[in-house]
Amino acid sequence: MKISDMKNMQPEYTEMLARTGIHTKDDLEQKGAVDTYLLLNKQGQIADLKMLYALESALLDISVSQLGNDIKQHLQSAIKAPKL
């Protein structure tokens, strides 16, 4: 499935992901929402929490509004945790 066909994937997000080599749902699943978010920011593309939530909810095939606070807290912690 193309990224543009996934829930919550605005054209802007689709373009940003394409610049990092992520074009399909499989690509995004392999990287995961957190690592994709970190990669985008490392490459100088400004990804915010709204995009992080959109990535995770797209992988779960739900709308962002259905993403629970516990998942949001986990995502926020994951992007702040040092990578080993």
6-9 long-range contacts (CB < 8 A, ≥24 apart) are: 6/58, 6/61, 7/57, 7/58, 7/61, 7/62, 7/63, 8/54, 8/55, 8/57, 8/58, 8/63, 8/64, 9/54, 9/58
What confidence score (pLDDT) does residue 76 get? 96
Q: What is the pTM of this model?
A: 0.92
What confidence score (pLDDT) does residue 83 get? 65
Q: Which domains does the chain have, with CATH numbers?
A: 3-80 (1.10.150.20)
pLDDT tens-digit profile of 19-74?
A: 999 999 999 999 999 999 999 999 999 899 999 999 999 999 999 999 999 999 99
